[in-house]
Amino acid sequence: MISVTVMTETFLDKAYSTGDDSRELYKNWSATYDEEVTGKGYVTPRRVAEALAQFCNDLSTPLLDYGCGTGLSGLAFRAAGFSTLHGIDVSAEMIEKAQEKEAYTTLRHFELENGPPVEAGAYSIIAAVGVIGSGAAPLSLFDTIMDLLAQNGLFSFSFNDHTLEDPSFEAKVTDYTSSGQARLLFKDYGDHLPGIGLKSNVYILKKL
Ligand SMILES: C[S@@+](CC[C@H](N)C(=O)[O-])C[C@H]1O[C@@H](n2cnc3c(N)ncnc32)[C@H](O)[C@@H]1O
């Protein structure tokens, strides 16, 4: 009898050593991303969504899920009661997977070089779950999102342990709060991928 073992390639180990341009990583990971991260107990989307829901009076307010990936964050926002979700991502392959979940009102892929297909001030809620920092986008995306956000709007995001090792990420948050450009409404350190012992900070900033 011939026995065949099919090895599925895993990507978490590669993710945290990728550079600032992660498009190749997510192109190759899209097919198995959900299985791999849910298998490790990926919980940050639920933590972000539940925290954000506490600060929103109207859960039908459009929410921009920046770096929505395969839509795990969208499912978490839906479960927390958000009903108008717009997802954008630089990976066409990840967006294709998000389409299957039917969690979003709209989904758009965009080319990194062209910038996001969003007008400044169009959203009063923007989330970036697992998007800024180690394994995805550079810190400059933080400023891009704060520029896009409407005044008095909420920006919710997470930094995982690998990202937090670089003090410039937390320093960015402090820059905004100490200069009076934003107020920190929420910050919580908890599980990210408990299956590999990785944690994350979840934040909500209000743009002033
Ligand atoms: C770890 S995944 C997180 C996806 C989803 N938010 C979740 O929680 O499952 C990171 C996502 O960020 C996207 N991404 C990376 N850099 C980006 C950028 N500069 N602009 C928009 N999306 C980006 C990747 O394509 C990928 O889909």
Q: Is the pLDDT of residue 32 over 90?
A: yes
Is residue 11 one of the residues assigned to a domain? Answer: no
108-145 pLDDT, tens digit per residue, is 999 999 999 999 999 999 999 999 998 889 999 999 99
Who wins on pLDDT, 76 or 22?
76
Is residue 108 one of the residues assigned to a domain? Answer: yes
Is residue 201 one of the residues assigned to a domain? Answer: yes
Q: Is the pLDDT of residue 158 over 60?
A: yes
In testing the pocket of ligand 1, which one of 42, 72, 73, 89 has its CB within 8 Å of the most ligand atoms? Answer: 89
Is residue 35 one of the residues assigned to a domain? Answer: no
Which CATH number do you get for residue 178? 3.40.50.150
pLDDT mean over 61-90: 98
Pocket of ligand 1 (CB under 6 A): 22, 26, 45, 67-69, 72-73, 89-91, 94, 112, 129-131, 135-137, 141
Could you tell me the distance, in angstroms and rounded to a whole number, from the CA of residue 4 to the centre of ligand 1? 34
Identify the domain containing residue 91 by its residue range: 41-113+120-207
70-84 pLDDT, tens digit per residue, is 999 999 999 999 999
The number of domains in the chain is 1
Is residue 10 one of the residues assigned to a domain? Answer: no
Six token digits for residue 12: 């978490």
Is residue 183 one of the residues assigned to a domain? Answer: yes
> Which residue is closest in CA terms to ligand 1's atom 17?
137
pTM: 0.95
Is residue 129 one of the residues assigned to a domain? Answer: yes
Is residue 13 one of the residues assigned to a domain? Answer: no
